[in-house]
Amino acid sequence: MIDRLVARILGLEVRLLACQARLNAHTDSEALHDLRTTVRRLRSLLRPLRGLPGVEQLETAASAVGTLTTPLRDREVLAAYLEQHGQTEAARRRQVQMADAYPAVAASVELAQLLMILDAFPRFIRAAQREGLLKGLRKRIEKRLDKQWKKLDEALRDPAHDRHRLRLLIKRVRYAIEAYPELNRLPEAATPRLKSAQGALGDWHDCWQWLARAKEETDLQACVPTWQQTMEKAEAKSDKVLDKLIASCFEKS
């Protein structure tokens, strides 16, 4: 278990370094997204380990990178949408802003701090192992994962559920399954259902966010009617997908 944990940490470090190089050279349009996904995977790996040496510092550093890149990713996604839907000038303005953002993220203090702490983290794990602090690690992780799954189950069954919170909980469960696949006790249908639910809620969230931005960014006004319609459809779709998720994955909870 500990060997697998260290191997996954090293793998995530390699991916982060690759993302940093891609951002610095601006080689492709997926570098920022891949960076954020990798950071999210790292945070999912760390969440069940809270209380162990070095985890708090690493979580804080990962959170800082997330905070730094969230508005940039939101702008990137919006620019891509605008370009695909013929709003060329509005897209171009945002793409120009992003051109400077990519190397800035690569050279940021936040990312440098994360990489520095992450590089040292396997040594903390091995030291904790030698001192006997990792006894019962499997049960510890299983308990934390069960708690996440129960939170999602409760939120799904709440008639007044908050879509923002549900989206976050679904992401956490999905990435926890990826982080610890050997401990996944959810039904086989869980992974595709969770992915589908996250996608539907993501479409809803994009429209919700863009409508809020349109109140201040006048060049988005032309898209407002489309976004209002798309948001309503996404709400209906997400409700259906969430019902299927409950039926196939949590009906015995």
Q: What is the 3-state secondary structure (H, E, C) of the chain?
A: CHHHHHHHHHHHHHHHHHHHHHHHHCCCCCHHHHHHHHHHHHHHHHHHHCCCCCHHHHHHHHHHHHHHHHHHHHHHHHHHHHHHCCCHHHHHHHHHHHHHHHHHHHCCHHHHHHHHHHHHHHHHHHHHHHCCCCCCHHHHHHHHHHHHHHHHHHHHHCCCCCHHHHHHHHHHHHHHHHHCHHHCCCCCCHHHHHHHHHHHHHHHHHHHHHHHHHCCCHHHHHHHHHHHHHHHHHHHHHHHHHHHHHHHHHCCC
Question: CB–CB of 217/82 below 8 Å?
Answer: no
pLDDT in tens, 207-218: 999 999 999 999
Look-up of token digits 């190397």 = 103
Percentage of the chain modeled with pLDDT above 70 = 98
> Which pLDDT tens digit goes with each residue over 39-56?
999 999 999 898 888 999
> 């994009």: which residue's tokens?
206
Number of residues in the chain: 253
**Mean of the per-residue pLDDT values for the chain?**
91
Q: What average pLDDT does the segment 137-156 reach?
A: 89
Could you give the CA distance from residue 241 to residue 203 in angstroms, rounded to a whole number?
Answer: 13
Q: Which pLDDT score, from 0 to 100, does residue 253 have? A: 45
Task: Tell me what the mean pLDDT of segment 228-235 comes to.
Answer: 93
Provide the phi-psi class of 170: left if phi over 0, else alpha when psi is between -120 and 50, else beta. alpha
Q: What is the pLDDT of residue 214?
A: 95
What pLDDT shows up at residue 108? Answer: 98
Domain ranges of the chain: 1-135, 138-253
Contact at 8 Å (CB) between 195 and 248? no
What is the structure's pLDDT at 223? 95
How much is the pLDDT for 70? 96
CATH entry, 1-135, from 1.20.1250, 1.25.40, 3.40.50, 1.20.120: 1.20.120
Of 193 and 66, the structure prediction assigns the larger pLDDT to 66
104, pLDDT greater than 90: yes
pTM comes to 0.90
**What average pLDDT does this structure show over 188-215?**
90
Which pLDDT value is given to residue 193? 85
Residue 48 CA to residue 69 CA, distance in Å, equals: 24
Using the predicted structure, report yes or no on whether residue 249 has a pLDDT greater than 80: no
Residue 250 has pLDDT above 70, yes or no: no
CA 191 to each of CA 4, 171, 198, 243: distance values in angstroms, whole numbers, following the listed order: 21, 11, 11, 15
Summarised one tens digit per residue, pLDDT across range 26-39 is 888 899 999 999 99
The identity of residue 53, as a single letter, is P
What is the spatial distance between Cα 46 and Cα 8, in angstroms, rounded to a whole number? 11
Query: Locate tokens 């993501």: which residue?
Result: 202
